[in-house]
Amino acid sequence: MTGLEVGLKLKFGDAGLALLPTISQITDPDILERLLHTLVDCNSLADFERAIPQV
């Protein structure tokens, strides 16, 4: 499990895990790191979803 996967599960449950197929398409480590920091700071799943770039 990646840090993002664990964080999404803990913070948002199955709804968070549903984002993994989209996130797994991201290969840029800088973007993935930014998403991890966003996950820590965001207050809602919608806030996190807005931070995911279109791939």
pTM (predicted TM-score) = 0.87
Residue 41: domain span:
3-51
Q: How many domains does the chain have?
A: 1
Decide: 7 and 40 in contact? Cβ < 8 Å.
yes
pLDDT digits (tens, 9 = 90+) for 1-55: 689 999 999 999 999 999 999 999 999 999 999 999 999 999 999 999 999 997 6
Whole-number Å distance between alpha carbons of 17 and 32: 15
